[in-house]
Amino acid sequence: MAVGVFDSGLGGLTVLAALQHRLPQVPFVYYGDNANAPYGVRDAQDIYDLTTRAVQRLWDEGCDLVVLACNTASAAALKRMQETWIPADKRVLGVFVPLIEALTERQWGDNTPPREVGVKHVALFATPATVASRAFQRELAFRAIGVDVEAQPCGGVVDAIEAGDDILAEALVRSHVEALLRRMPRPDAAVLGCTHYPMMETVFRRALGPDVSVFSQPGLVAAALDDYLARRPEFVGAGTQTRYLTTGNPDSVSNHATRFLRRAVRFEAA
Ligand code: DGL
């Protein structure tokens, strides 16, 4: 056994890096569905079908617990998976809840009614599918009242990052931030709601200005998994092998991943 980490492509490596840093003793099996990325422009049924296929593959690999590092999968597929598909002896965790708990200053398992929180105006940057799902607003509404969310679907950013075109990615981030600030001129907080955006965190911060608190997921997800495994240690097994699986071409994905992470990574066919 090991813990599975799923993403539509390479972006989830930002989350994996934080998990490996925080939990160096845990073996992780990463699954990147590079052949079908990007998910952010797909419909909900498609995202559900692809995500369940990937999670099944990670279960076959001996992972009883899978982290959906992909926001689009967490937003568009996780609720339905939890309601109808995941067996009792397995767990699938998404990336939205840790983020929203941090934003609303809640501890895990605090199921008290929604209440007023420090932030009032939140800017959400995410893929078109994540924005369309309204999953962020739904999870937030369980925990907080009186928070205004303005969401910006950041078309093109993931493709530019995957293609290694940092100049285009930066220009797109700046224009998406400007578009959002025209609708919400003074957000208190901004959420980078996509695995790829931590790669552009400096550009987001600069465009948003110093008064906006930026919430980025990798560190928050790693802290949440650490906490979860302390409570449910049975979900990390005796496995010792970290593996990187892809539905894409392993050589080309390995090259991209090595550039993306700035360290050598070797992918195998999923
Ligand atoms: N991994 C996806 C996410 O976090 C972004 C990439 C995609 O569109 O597939 O939303």
Among 34, 47, 195, residue to substitute to test ligand 1 (most atoms within 8 Å of Cβ): 195
Among candidate residues 216, 244, 261, the one where a domain is terminated: 216
Q: Give yes or no: residues 45 and 131 share one domain.
A: no
Question: Is residue 62 classed exposed, middle or buried when 0-12, 13-18 and 19+ CB atoms within 10 A define those classes?
Answer: middle
Residues 212 and 102 in one domain: yes
Question: Which letter does DSSP use for residue 209 in this model?
Answer: -
Distance CA 218, CA 156 (A): 22
Per-residue DSSP letter, 251: H
Distance CA 136, CA 238 (A): 34
* Cα separation values, 96 from 73, 83, 182, Å: 10, 17, 25
Mutate which of 6, 14, 34, 39 to test ligand 1's pocket (most atoms within 8 Å of Cβ)? 39
Marked catalytic residue, from 135, 194, 199, 236? 194
Active-site choice (68, 70, 73, 180)? 70
Residue identifier of the C-alpha nearest atom 8 of ligand 1: 40
The CA 103 to ligand 1 mean position distance, Å, reads 21
Q: Which atom of ligand 1 is nearest to the CA of 95?
A: 4
Q: Are residues 28 and 66 in the same domain?
A: yes
The three-class DSSP label of residue 87 is coil
Mean pLDDT confidence for 202-207:
98
Interhelix angle 135-143/96-103, rounded to 10 degrees, is 40
How far is the C-alpha of 59 from the C-alpha of 65, rounded, in Å? 8
Active site residue 194: yes
> Are the beta carbons of 199 and 10 closer than 8 angstroms?
no
SS3 per residue for 10-62: CCCHHHHHHHHHHCCCCCEEEEECHHHCCCCCCCHHHHHHHHHHHHHHHHHCC
What angle do the packed helices 166-183 and 201-208 form, to 10 degrees?
Answer: 30
Q: What range does the domain containing 66 cover?
A: 3-94+218-269
Q: Is the CB of 71 under 6 A from ligand 1?
A: yes
Q: Is 70 in the pocket of ligand 1 (CB under 6 A)?
A: yes
How far is Cα 93 from Cα 225, in angstroms, rounded to an integer? 9
CA proximity to 107, closest of 263, 223, 214, 199: 223
Q: How far is the CA of 152 from the centre of ligand 1 (A)?
A: 14
Residues 233, 189 share a domain: no
pLDDT in tens, 98-147: 999 999 988 777 888 999 999 999 999 999 999 999 999 999 999 999 99
| Cβ proximity of 98 and 224 under 8 Å | yes
116 and 207 in a common domain:
yes
- Please tell me whether residues 226 and 160 are part of one structural domain: no
Say whether both 137 and 188 belong to one domain.
Answer: yes
30 and 132 housed in the same domain? no
Q: Across the strands, what pairs with 246?
A: 32, 269
Query: How many CA atoms are closer than 13 Å to the CA of 76, on its beta-carbon side?
Result: 27
Distance between CA atoms of 96 and 130, rounded to whole angstroms?
Answer: 11
Residue bearing the CA closest to ligand 1, atom 6: 38
Q: Give nearest CA residue, ligand 1 atom 7.
A: 38
Q: Per-residue confidence at 1, pLDDT binned at 50, 70, 90?
A: low
* Alpha carbon nearest to ligand 1 atom 1, residue: 70
* 102 & 132 share domain: yes
| pLDDT (mean) for 156-164 | 88
Q: Kindly tell me if the per-residue pLDDT of 163 is higher than 90.
A: no
* Residue 72 in contact with ligand 1 by CB distance below 6 A: yes
The 3-state secondary structure of 115-170 reads EECCCCEEEEEECHHHHHHCHHHHHHHHHEECCEEEEEECCCHHHHHHCCCHHHHH
First-last CA distance in the chain: 17
**Domain termination site, one of 173, 199, 216:** 216
Residue 158 in contact with ligand 1 by CB distance below 6 A: yes
Domains identified in the chain, total number: 2
**14 and 81 share a domain?**
yes
* Residue 63 is among the residues annotated as catalytic for this protein: no
pLDDT digits (tens, 9 = 90+) for 167-203: 999 999 999 999 999 999 999 999 999 999 999 999 9
Statement to judge: residues 176 and 205 lie in one domain: yes
CA distance 28 to 196: 19
CATH code for position 59 = 3.40.50.1860
Domain end, chosen from 195, 216, 237, is at: 216
Verify that 131 and 114 share a domain, yes or no.
Answer: yes
pLDDT category, 238, cuts 50, 70, 90?
low
Q: Is the pTM of the predicted complex or chain greater than 0.85?
A: yes
